[in-house]
A and B are shown apart, each in its own frame.
Chain A
């Protein structure tokens, strides 16, 4: 059975003002797979994710999601279609944990949202214990957890994450990977931009982004066989 293409970008170019960041990026994410996007700081990872989501307009090229051309869609419309972006910056600090999750899952029916929230508290007990606390009172790691919970509440078809490990202790990184693996096993499709190679454990396929262009595309095993990539990303001789 061949998996369906969920998200595809074709010859994507984008940037800010007069500065071009992406130079013709082709990338595809298939249903139920986990794709990790590796790249150094400044390689254009965040810009690529933001362009896919519509937060940065595409200059040239096309983005399709679930078979529809979404290149000119506004962000909120893409999100409602199931293209969800996780960012701890997108947590509403002035609202409680429960309200944040409610906003994430606002497209669900009330009963579905209740079930979903209970399930998320089960996965993130630290959030469930303090559901009436303001998000502003959370630590960086907890806030990241809330960001993930809020994104998952939307029941995404594809969850996009920008460096979920940044600013987290190794223990927390392990926990994040554990949670993601759980959802991946249930069929969630993931696109994760990372520098932390621990996330490759989750990956079905890898893209490397270098200077706004895709360098390598293939499986983790194929990446290990490539000497140059191994040196660049794993630091091995």
Chain B
């Protein structure tokens, strides 16, 4: 069986099935929805960081752009949710196109410039002078299109598409070319790989993933403030989850979300007073002892992680 098909059947299918059945068995649907959101965002980080090496500290900018793209389409154009979803994805894509010059930067410079760009978008969106367009800092209410059950299903579909994209990248020549670029861009060019095109495509795919996720998030919660969808902790979570599991793998980000978001919610409920302490120690331990994620732990023992 080709590996693409095998990983689709063994990883993607069970994941989607479990999340489709979960609402019937577990009452906290918001938590389940957030799991889907972070699974998708962590895979989005995986696409851009795992396959090209760019670590976008401002990744939430695309998420927020998607949420506002969705909201503005609903508020001003009275668009149907599924149409508004496309508008959200488009908004994130446009932001991605606008930010492609950042790809000229490398390492921390890229990360910081991307963070600044996300903050700039937040400042524009939450500007009181734009109240007639974005409602400024006063937040958005989309009660007219509120439909959490359908939004949950759409979010799951976006997760499935994103995970499939990662599976494809893992096994396609394009994904292999991206990993070559990540290792050494000059050597990749010397192997005939179009470095610029590869980076831009990965960047825009990651932007689109976050934009669609932001859109469906706006739809699901339907009432939010600029800080809700541009919050820096969304980026941090997505990055930490992806890195904890191991990037450039299919399973890594999934494991990261299940384990760390699980612990996050468990501590948050059982010992909220120690929450930040425990979580901080966990992340420090991760950086010190497992910089390449759980996948590297297994790989060191000769186990190939899909």
Contacts and interface: CB of A to CB of B under 8 A. Distances in A.
Contacts of B193: 76, 103, 106
Nearest to B195: A76
B184 A76 contact: no
Contact of A79 (B173, B183, B191, B196): B191
A90 B190 contact: yes
A89 interface: yes
A103 B191 contact: yes
Given A103-B177, A106-B173, A106-B177, A95 B190 contact: no
A93 B189 CA distance: 16
B23 to A, nearest CB: 41
Label chain B's interface by main secondary structure: helix
A99 interface: yes
A31 B194 CA distance: 26
Interface in B59-80: none
Contact of A90 (B179, B187, B196): B187
A53 interface: yes
B176 interface: yes
A55 interface: yes
A92 B184 contact: yes
Contacts of B192: 76, 79-80, 84, 106-107, 154
Interface in B181-227: 183-184, 186-196
A181 to B, nearest CB: 24
Nearest to A132: B304
B183 A53 contact: no
Contact of A99 (B176, B186, B187, B188): B176
A92 B177 contact: no
Nearest to A86: B190
B180 A74 contact: no
A89 B184 CA distance: 10
B173 to A, nearest CB: 5
Contacts of B194: 76-77
Contact of B190 (A87, A93, A102, A107): A87
Contacts of A95: 179-180, 183
Nearest to A55: B186
A215 interface: no
Contacts of A44: none
Task: Give 10 closest A-B pairs by Cβ, nearest first.
Answer: A79-B192, A90-B187, A75-B189, A80-B192, A76-B189, A92-B183, A90-B190, A103-B180, A103-B191, A76-B194
6 contacts: A76-B189, A76-B193, A90-B186, A92-B183, A150-B191, A154-B192
